[in-house]
Amino acid sequence: MSLPADPAGRHRAVSADFTARVQGASDWDAPAPVAGWRARDVVDHLVGWFPDFLKSATGLVLDRGPSPEEDPVAAWRVHTDAVQRLLDGPGAATPFHHPMVGAMPLPDAVDRFYTSDVFMHTWDLARATGQDERLDPQTCADLLAGMVPIEELLRSSGQYGPAVPVPDDADAQTRLLGFIGRDPQRGGQ
């Protein structure tokens, strides 16, 4: 299955997959594949960084739910619904200009920086909570193709751990996970 090409549709599909893992989680304190994180920290990361990023680039303020420490399910639901309303509504035409990434259409910025992050962290939450870890293979291949040429920049940002070696014949998901510092065999970064 390939994801929709439009940013609003892609966010809807990616967030639905993440939401399914959120709803299926039973142990929010289970260790996640990112060192030092628990399952609830995966949600906390996504609902934490994006609102500030969006506000600094557009002045827009997203609705905030409870803390993921208190209620990760409600925190995610409020957040993802707010992002989808933004993409589906007139706010999507708001000018986007971020001091670190420049100017671009708001839906493209959400897709490039946020939706792709939700996509990759779906695996982290699935692994932490013992759920289906499969990601869309074409999206994995597309993300990896876009990230490899800017590897030095990505690694210097501190957002990605060192690459984990994977077999030369590994599938796209395994190659992407290894690139971002995850070991599908162990689950660590």
Burial 18-34 (b: 16+ CB within 10 A, else e): bbebbeebeebeebbbb
Identify whether residues 19 and 112 lie together within a single domain: yes
What pLDDT digit, counting tens, does each position of 54-104 carry? 999 999 999 999 999 999 999 999 999 999 999 999 999 999 999 888 999
Identify whether residues 72 and 140 lie together within a single domain: no
Reading the block at residue 134, the tokens are 């499969």
What pLDDT digit, counting tens, does each position of 98-149 carry? 988 899 999 999 999 999 999 999 999 999 999 999 999 999 999 999 999 9
Confidence of residue 189 (pLDDT cuts 50, 70, 90): very low
Q: What is the pLDDT of residue 1?
A: 58
Nearest of 49, 53, 47, 54 to residue 77 by alpha carbon: 47
Which residues span the domain enclosing 44? Answer: 7-116
Identify whether residues 103 and 186 lie together within a single domain: no
What's the number of domains the chain is made of? 2
Q: Where does 8-76 show beta strands of DSSP type E? A: none
